[in-house]
Amino acid sequence: MEKLKSLIDDLNLKYIQNMNDFTKFLLLSEEELAGMPLEFLKDLEETDGKRKVLLTGYYVTPILEHCKVGSTRKQIAVAYGQKGGNQNVAILEKLVQIRHRLARLLGYSNYSDFAIEPRMPMTSRKVLEFLEEMSEQLSDLANRELTVLKELKMKEEGDAQFGMEDLLYYMKRGEQHKVDLDIGEIKRYFPVKLVISGMLKMFQDLFALRFEEIKDVEVWHDTVRLFSVWDASSSDLLGYFFLDIFSREGKYDHTCVVALQNGCMCSNGSRKVPVAVLLSQCPKEFDGNSALLRFPEVVRIFHEFSHVVHHISNRATFSRFSSLRLEGDFAEIPSLLLENWCYESISLKMMSGFYQVILGIPLLEGTSPASCFPRIAVGYDAVCYSYIWSEVFAADLFATKFKDDLLNQHAGLRFRNKVLAPGGSKGPLEIITDYLGREPSLQPFIQSRTRNAL
């Protein structure tokens, strides 16, 4: 068995190496890149009057979303789709066989059952039922939306042949069409300073917490801020968090949360408090003006800060159940739930300077920010259902407990105590059922998708 495990590790590594070793690029003229914003073009190296486009997600996704030239989108999508090549297909086939052998050796009938057993659905059968139900409930809606996208393409390019390379572009077009508001246009309305202060205020109000900044403390960079977290009514110290949100050279280039210390009950009866750091890549302030964020970046920071609050609200007795390494399908539910606040005028008012203009944004709920989550074959084996699974639970929690009163501290405090506090010490399904007072339902998710359809 050890041999099989190390074989799997080797193949995983090779698969990722093949992706990283892929250095192919495309040379495209400005006409071929029509529709791309100036800042994007400026970022591309110029060779013989053409722009060099590396085939990484950083360049490929914006082109698939914004480039008006259908043949360019196709060229990019095809080239990107060949990343890793036949080598990786062969590796994946081998991986499937070896994983199956490993699962059989452990007494499971297949690898999915092995991978899913410790997660919320527990069996692959349950996952299949879930996916079938989703497909049954959403197929009509998906077909209707596809018809809208095809009509948009017909209007713009005079061509009804709709390919995968058109999907992102016309989804963006459809959303703009519906809301008539370009997210890029309102970039100036999200100053970093206001986003952070608005976000901190919202979390304090909703969850009955008090954040106090600790000044004059030794940190690893002068832009890093440290806060203590207190229970607003009992004034108990709950934990600490660092905000390290500005980009700088050599810094880890990801937005994420790292648990620096888990909370737990010590043998002498005192409590060790949790500590977390939020890392992000916000642009620095310039000329005394607060730097500005795009809306998706606001959502991202909000999502990650929800993980911070989850970590600090944890009251589990043992450190083992107190980290961010919660059961996979459960860990994302609170953050996906709290993302909803970004689309509501009440929190947008707190985070933006010109809220009157942005009140149109709630309609953008259907943009589904969670769908931009990177999924790769390795590391998500047999659990690709997970994100949408979490979205379903988050939608139910939002619709049932918060939708009609976003700053309802009573609901917030109950959520903190019943859902966030147990951490990994109770089963996720038990936690959510207990909080809702009934079994979770798929319907709020379906309704929200239907309501926000193109």
SS3 for 227?
strand
Closest to Zn ion by CB, 37 vs 57, is 57
Residue number, 302 or 343, with CB nearest to Zn ion: 302
Neighbours of 442 (CB within 10 A): 15
Q: Which stretch binds Zn ion (CB under 5 A): 82-90, 111-119, 176-184, 326-334?
A: 326-334
Q: Which range touches Zn ion (CB under 5 A), out of 59-67, 281-289, 328-336, 337-345? A: 328-336
Binding window for Zn ion (CB under 5 A); candidates: 61-69, 138-146, 324-332, 365-373: 324-332
Which residue is nearest to Zn ion, using beta carbons? 335
Q: Closer CB to Zn ion, residue 84 or residue 423?
A: 423
Q: How far is the CB of 225 from Zn ion (least distance, A)?
A: 21
Cβ closest to Zn ion, residue 124 vs residue 335: 335
Q: Which member of 297, 304, 339, 391 is catalytic?
A: 304
What 3 state SS string does 261-330 have? ECCEECCCCCEECCEEEEEEEECCCECCECCECCHHHHHHHHHHHHHHHHHHHCCCCCHHHCCCCCCHHH
306 sits near Zn ion (criterion: CB under 5 A)? no
Element (H, E) at 237: strand 237-246
In the DSSP assignment, the letter for residue 363 is G
Please state the closest distance from residue 372 (CB atom) to Zn ion, in A. 12
Distance CA 144, CA 284 (A): 43
Residue 297 known to be catalytic? no
CA–CA distance, 8 with 2 (Å, rounded to integer): 10
Shortest Cβ 256–Zn ion spacing (Å): 8
Residues counted in the chain: 454
Cβ at position 45, least distance to Zn ion in Å: 33
Q: Supply the minimum distance, in Å, between the C-beta of residue 335 and Zn ion.
A: 5
For Zn ion, the closer of residues 170 and 302 by Cβ is: 302
* Residue 218, CB-side half-sphere exposure with 13 Å CA sphere: 0
**Cβ distance to Zn ion smaller for residue 335 or 352:** 335
- Report DSSP state, residue 103: H
Give the separation between CA 202 and CA 361, rounded to whole angstroms.
18
> What is the total count of residues that contact Zn ion (CB under 5 A)?
2
Stretch that binds Zn ion, among 32-40, 102-110, 333-341, 359-367 (CB under 5 A): 333-341
Question: Is 390 among the residues that bind Zn ion (CB under 5 A)?
Answer: no
Is 335 an interacting residue with respect to Zn ion (CB under 5 A)?
Answer: yes
- 300, 287, 278, 279: which is closest to 190 by C-alpha? 300
For the bound state, the minimum distance from the C-beta of residue 303 to Zn ion, rounded and expressed in Å, comes to: 6
* Range in contact with Zn ion (rule: CB under 5 A) among 4-12, 45-53, 278-286, 330-338: 330-338
**Rounded CA separation 32/22 (Å):** 23
- Break the chain down into helix, strand, coil percent, rounded to 5: 55, 10, 30
Catalytic residues: 304
Residues that bind Zn ion (CB under 5 A): 332, 335
